[in-house]
Amino acid sequence: MQKVDTKTKILNAAEQLFAERGYADTSLRLITSQAEVNLASVNYHFGSKKELIQAVLARYLEVCAPSLEQSLAVLNKSDVPFTQHDVFNCLLAPLLELNTFRHRGTSIFLQLLGRGYIENQGHLRWFITTHYGKVLTAFNKAVQDANPDLSKEEIFWRLHFTLGTVVFTMASSKALIDIAKADFDVDVDIEGLIKRVVPFISSGVSAGGTLP
Partner DNA sequence: TTATATTTAAAACGTTCGTTTATCAAAGGA
Partner DNA sequence: TCCTTTGATAAACGAACGTTTTAAATATAA
Rounded Cα distance between 63 and 123, Å, is 21
Rounded Cα distance between 204 and 16, Å, is 31
Rounded Cα distance between 171 and 157, Å, is 21
Smallest distance from a second copy to CB 37, Å: 26
Residue nearer to DNA on the CB measure, 26 or 106: 26
Binds a second copy (CB under 8 A): choice among 36, 149, 153, 187: 153
For position 134 contacting DNA by CB under 7 A, the verdict is no
| Count of C-beta atoms within a 10 Å radius of residue 188 | 16
Judged by beta carbon distances under 5 to 8 A according to partner kind, the member of DNA, a second copy, none in contact with residue 50 is DNA
For residue 3, give the DSSP letter: P
For position 120 contacting a second copy by CB under 8 A, the verdict is yes
For residue 211, give the DSSP letter: -
Rounded Cα distance between 67 and 17, Å, is 26
Binds a second copy (CB under 8 A): choice among 7, 12, 16, 22: 22
* SS3 label, residue 36: coil
For position 180 contacting a second copy by CB under 8 A, the verdict is yes
Judged by beta carbon distances under 5 to 8 A according to partner kind, the member of DNA, a second copy, none in contact with residue 198 is a second copy
Q: Binding residues for a second copy, per CB under 8 A?
A: 21-22, 24-25, 85, 117-120, 152-154, 156-158, 160-161, 163-169, 171-172, 176, 179-180, 183-184, 186, 195-211
